[in-house]
Amino acid sequence: MEDTSKYLIHADVTADGVVERSDVVGAIFGQTEGLLGDDLDLRDLRQSQKVGRIDVEITSTSGQSTGTATIATSLDKVETATLAAALETITRVGPCRASLEVTEIEDVRAAKRKEVVERAKELLRTGFDDSVMSSEEILAEVREYVRVEDITEYEGLPAGPRVTDSDAIIIVEGRSDVLTLLKYGIKNAIAVEGTNVPDAVAELTRHRTVTAFLDGDRGGELILAELAQVGDIDYVAFAPAGDSVEALDHHELFAALRNKVPYDAVSGLNEPRAAIAATDGSTTPAPPASTPTTGDDSSEPRPSPAEPAAADSTAADANGTEIDDASVSEVDDTDGAEADPTTVYEHASEIIRAGTDRVRFLDADTTVLEEADASDAYDSLEGLEEPPETIVLDAILTQRLLDLAADSGVERIVARSLGQFTKRPTAVRVHAVTDIAEDPPETG
């Protein structure tokens, strides 16, 4: 009956004396019997389920009884109103003088409609917030899942899949640190899981170029001291003071790795963290060799720490495209005052390495043609009257933007990272920012 009810009759009951629920129900049936004829006889309506259960709540205080009665019906409006009026003819409940007054006839369907409307409003506000993902977000989420799934073990220790064959490794403290590096594409990390450095890691350090990448706290310094006693450490990097490696975002993590220093520079110091450059660039560390491995590292051995190799005139990015050092010429450090960027490298540092989420369009003289939010890169490029020679993008380079750049005559794109390309125009040189050397090429 509750599922088919159309209306609820609500009535107040008052009696001059002490009565109970059964007395009220009996009075309703007894004093309305035969009043409205056979078609609206309350007992017949109950048997045919056109009237539901009569709910009564009654309380007695100081010799007076008061309460409410509720009757559900599936009758039409006229029949329901007539039945409600009949209830008000009741004058006695049990032995007591009494009255029953109808206070409301509630439309059950209207109440349900109101609930539907309110719930629909709530779903409109919250139900669709995360339902639409951009192509970049889809690719980033899938790529992150694949990287996390790549975690393996080396001699029972959490490690990236390239630890076994890479000639450079990164030693971190725990499994969560390995997962964080995997998330950002670095696959040659291994965790020591505590200050007691395993023999497998100690042996591994004797045959690889090793960077110890540790939390910016006292625990990180203790692990470094243990590593130095049992293994062979080449470089040292710390997370910012008080932070852990696992808590770093993309830009903080790569900044910390770029600021690593040779272990010899901090060996014997009580607080080696103090000798390593802060991620805000407040000090300048010694230029390190490259150690992050994203899965596309070269088979050629890396330079040893004692004899850093001279920078080549060209380098190759992760997809095999050559990077001409002339296009990312050296940073002018002769003047301490901050100057406008004059090279592609300086623009890349200012836009990408600083984590601005912006895009900058440059002409042949590296003059800024326009700058916009990275999310508006496609529309901004489409709206430029003069096609830029270079695009500097603090975002993932997508196939859609690359195709438009090729059609527009763009010669070079430097991005935070490169997406998965189904086709790659040969007319456009594309580089991830990590492929751009920080040191100027040697001359002479």
What is the DSSP code string of 15-67?
ESS---HHHHHHHHHHHHTTTS-STT-HHHHHHTTSEEEEEEEEEEETTEEEE
254 plus 334 within the same structural domain: no
- Produce one character per residue of 80-91: b if its CB has 16 or more CB atoms within 10 Å, e if not: beebbebbeebe
Section 124-145 average pLDDT: 70
Q: Which has the higher per-residue pLDDT, 309 or 34?
A: 34
- The domain that holds 176 is classified in CATH as 3.40.1360.10
Q: Is residue 443 part of a domain?
A: no
Query: How long, in residues, is the chain?
Result: 444
Residues 67 and 139 reside in one and the same domain: no
Residue 345 lies in a domain: yes
What pLDDT is stored for residue 1 in this prediction?
54
Share of the chain above pLDDT 70, in %: 79
Residue 38 included in any domain: yes
What is the amino acid identity at position 437? A
With a cut of 70, say whether residue 312 has pLDDT above it: no
C-alpha to C-alpha distance for 258 and 254, rounded to whole angstroms: 6
Q: Do 358 and 381 belong together in one domain?
A: yes
Q: Has residue 288 been placed in a domain? A: no
Could you tell me if residue 294 is inside a domain?
no
For residue 229, being part of any structural domain is answered with yes
Query: Which of residues 219, 245, 275 is at a domain's end?
Result: 275
Answer with the one of 218, 247, 275 that is the final residue of a domain: 275
Tokens of 355: 């984590």
**Can you give the pLDDT at residue 170?**
93
Average pLDDT over residues 291-304: 47
Helix (H, G, I), strand (E, B) or coil at 9: strand
Together in a domain, 142 and 264: yes
The average pLDDT across 18-46 equals: 89
Q: What's the CATH number where 99 sits?
A: 3.30.70.2690
Q: Are strands 314-316 and 358-362 parallel, antiparallel or unpaired?
A: unpaired
Q: How many CB atoms lie within 10 A of CB 248?
A: 24
Domain tally, the chain: 3
268 and 149 fall within a common domain:
yes
What tokens were used for 264?
Answer: 């010899």
Residue 308 lies in a domain: no
**Are 139 and 261 found together in one domain?**
yes
Backbone dihedral region for residue 64 (phi beyond 0: left; psi -120 to 50: alpha; all else: beta): beta
Range of the domain at 150: 135-275
pLDDT at 339: 57
- Residue-level pLDDT at 102: 94
Average pLDDT, the chain: 79
The secondary structure of residue 441, as a DSSP letter, is P
Give the residues across from 55 on adjacent strands: 70
What pLDDT does residue 103 have?
94
Question: What is the pLDDT at residue 423?
Answer: 77
Q: Looking at the predicted structure, is the pLDDT value of residue 219 above 90?
A: no
Residue 70: what pLDDT? 93
Q: Both 110 and 160 in a single domain?
A: no
Range with the lowest mean pLDDT among 253-262, 313-322, 418-427?
313-322
Is pLDDT at 211 greater than 70 in this prediction? yes
Buried b (16+ CB within 10 A) or exposed e, 314-345: ebebbeebebebebbbbbeeeeeeeeebebbb
Mean pLDDT of 157-183: 89
- pTM of the complete model: 0.37
Which pLDDT value is given to residue 130?
Answer: 58
pLDDT at position 413 over 90 = yes
- Using 50, 70 and 90 to split pLDDT, how confident is the model at 2? low
Are 327 and 431 a contacting pair, CB within 8 Å?
no
What confidence tens digit (pLDDT) does each residue in 370-387 have? 999 999 999 899 888 888
130 within a domain of the structure (yes/no): no
